Amino acid sequence: MVNQKKISFDITVYDSLNELTKEDRNLMSAAVKARKRAYAPYSKFNVGASVLLENGEIIEGNNQENASYPSGLCAERVAVFYAGARYPGMHIKAIAITAASLNHEVNEPAAPCGNCRQAISEYEFRQGKPIKMLLMGETGSIIECKSLSDLLPLGFNSSFLD
């Protein structure tokens, strides 16, 4: 018998940063600061990410491009990997991501690429708690997802390797 199932999730859409909690505004502000320091001479697409840890620390990351394109690294993985290296075992509460282009205005929320979704998923699975995602372009609305798994349903994790 063939069963068809639907996978869906809810998001919260904020019209402006003023609608976010103070904690979330601070997190997005850190992502914007990180975005402004991105090294993106090839794509001219600057991304900033900030990670809020359970101990209250905020870790920032930004995209780091390279003339040999596969050698670069996305902002989300820079921030998450640095958080994991600096505070091993510390749970991640939330991640804020923002993007801007030197070629055009980015007024839609920017979501992480597939590689970043998989990397963040590993942290979420390992800690056994959801990681809230806040997504923003340069201007416009902000999207909140309650968990990275909303952005990567049916994700691959270490349970498949047991």
Supply the residues annotated as catalytic: 76
Residue 136 tokens, joined: 């923003």
Residue with tokens 């670069």: 72
Using alpha carbons only, how large is the chain's radius of gyration in Å? 16
